[in-house]
Structure 1
């Protein structure tokens, strides 16, 4: 029987979330003075945000469009995505801007795979540079296609991936599904120092952590070496995980290869089957929030929620343990489903809605 974490307190504007296996932390007051500015509208399932050096932004839309947002206007970017497959949860997804400010790498489904492709931006035209990583598994329905790249402080790219609802993928270290990858930003190969760098398998060399279900975001805590991920659970137990190189996070719907189908009744972190698996630092319990992308903002871990239609703000101690969780009333079921979250160079937080019609790019400032 899976362990459930009580989360009824998450349904109020100011709350605390219990620690898995522990007592509920103290309650935190809801943030005061939050200001929300609508930067752009008219988007459709806005998936990710990248900041350019001139202050403009790139925004991906899942139906296969890329927008350049500047001075409140969203202009289509001419980009060749002729091989894209848009279906269900799949399409054009995550985005990361390279340090040169001209190249960007985005992730999308094709008829064959999910792949990371690097482009060069020139005005409102993007020219393909190279396929950075190909062969990430893809489900024809688009299910569990989560793929979001994030630039690490050391210049490598971390990539959150989904298991495409195929039972063997999370525990199979030759598959790139259900993983967090760490790759060289120029070659797409496994980055130096990766936990399985000596493997003869190129996919395994790319793996940083495994045993995940559908990772939606990876973020680095400023001033530390801590890396956190946000992950969708099935009907219970969305997770926030503190990532450790080479670690298993315990999702195994194949039950050790004994289950032919995709058995979602197994625990998100199956400590009985994998005693060394790493427990989550926070779990939603029931119901799930469908947490999405994570960003650090004003010292807190900010995570958007799709089903929950809210922003969750986690206060962490120095070790990365969750002390409390607050939910700003200004974003609690006011804008619908929230997906992207990126901290801008000026310290503000940008988020997107993902309702499918007239989605918005929002800028958050103020006291949290």
Structure 2
């Protein structure tokens, strides 16, 4: 897969990771033999990973801490200066992404759950990472209205080539909110680095659509990546019992939840009898039963040439890594990996050199790097 230079972040990220002393675990796929090298462990439900220009890494812990991995070692102290947040149910500190010009401005963005007297919601804050602390932290986005549920915060973020930030917000466990375009829940929002609606958003000229919306009808997106060749935004979202979806998002598109779904309710009863309706998009791919997907990366590295162009998705419920072979924008093969590891895979990231990185979701979570067996 060829990388388009204009779609590579302007942060000047370099891969300077040192060799790790921890013994690797070996696994086999249809096309390759690989191992996992443990970069860090002892993390409390790690949620997201970001690569800094000097080769160190930032890791969020859902429990409300931002951690630094430097020279292959997890620093014992959490980074101070985080915004006020709440750890409740599925909520806590979620994603971390760097500004496309981080090298120059040291700016990063955090998504997290926040509580007030009106309830909880998903927020995004911007801050300066300097001197191993955050400063000048400012809230730039808040999904409204708030509610008292502790589910489906979404929280995945990604920048596009124009410097616009995409933020997913789940339906908060109140499914009908995803079809209300005057309610921020259940969709993806596209904003500027200051939190303003991005130019071209579908609601800018429509009073019935909130002006930060990019898409709606999304249940709970926890995987999001920008395709390195096309610039398209690829996402996946949790279904209920079945109906996890992969979608290529288009501005102003309704993805149907809960009016259409390939899943059923947790009670075993139907949510709807419809899997398609006019004006609602069909998924590129779906899972039934549910795998509970989280984290997503398109492989562009050179360690595994046979994986070029594959989409990798972590699975929480079924505890595996899924490799999807993509041809002409369609899934043509699916392979389950790491089933013997028996770990909930929370995040899947492509490193600056295209290498594949994983986070495991547990009270003793790990950071893994996927490497070829020589």
Q: TM-score range by the shorter chain?
A: 0.7 to 0.9
Give the SS at the match of 1:168: helix
Q: Structure 2 stretches of 5 or more lacking a match?
A: 1-26, 262-266, 300-307
How many residues matched? 326
Equivalent of residue 244 in structure 1, options 230, 245, 250: 250
Mapped to 2, the partners of 1:281 and 1:42 lie a distance apart of 36
Structure 1 window deviating more from structure 2 (230-239 vs 76-85): it is 76-85
4+ aligned runs moved over 6 Å, structure 1 = none
* Offset of residue 171 of structure 1: 0.8
Relative to structure 1, is the Cα distance of residues 249 and 135 closer, same or farther in structure 2, using a 3 angstrom cutoff?
closer
What residue is the counterpart of 1:110 in the other structure?
114
* Match status 1:94 vs 2:95: yes
Mapped to 2, the partners of 1:105 and 1:55 lie a distance apart of 19
Equivalent of residue 349 in structure 1, options 345, 356, 359: 356
Equivalent of residue 180 in structure 1, options 153, 178, 188: 188
* Match status 1:266 vs 2:271: yes
Give the SS at the match of 2:211: helix
Mapped to 2, the partners of 1:199 and 1:109 lie a distance apart of 29
* Match status 1:304 vs 2:311: no
Q: How does 1:129-168 map to 2 (within 5 A)?
A: 129-168=137-176
Mapped to 2, the partners of 1:41 and 1:227 lie a distance apart of 31
Mapped to 2, the partners of 1:82 and 1:140 lie a distance apart of 20
Equivalent of residue 191 in structure 1, options 183, 198, 203: 198
* Offset of residue 267 of structure 1: 4.8
> Under a length normalisation based on structure 1, what TM-score does the superposition of the two structures give?
0.82
What residue is the counterpart of 1:56 in the other structure?
56
Give the SS at the match of 2:283: coil
What residue is the counterpart of 1:325 in the other structure?
334
Mapped to 2, the partners of 1:123 and 1:269 lie a distance apart of 54
- Alignment check: 8 A CA contact 2:158 2:226 kept: no
What residue is the counterpart of 2:326 in the other structure?
316
Mapped to 1, the partners of 2:282 and 2:191 lie a distance apart of 25
CA RMSD, 1 decimal: 2.5
Give the SS at the match of 2:176: coil
* Offset of residue 70 of structure 1: 1.2
* Offset of residue 194 of structure 1: 1.8
Mapped to 1, the partners of 2:190 and 2:127 lie a distance apart of 19
Relative to structure 1, is the Cα distance of residues 269 and 191 closer, same or farther in structure 2, using a 3 angstrom cutoff?
farther
Greater RCO, 1 or 2 (C-alpha within 8 Å, sep 6+): 1
Q: Structure 1 stretches of 5 or more lacking a match?
A: 1-12, 15-28, 256-261
Mapped to 2, the partners of 1:110 and 1:122 lie a distance apart of 24
> Under a length normalisation based on structure 2, what TM-score does the superposition of the two structures give?
0.81
* Offset of residue 360 of structure 1: 0.2
What residue is the counterpart of 2:283 in the other structure?
280
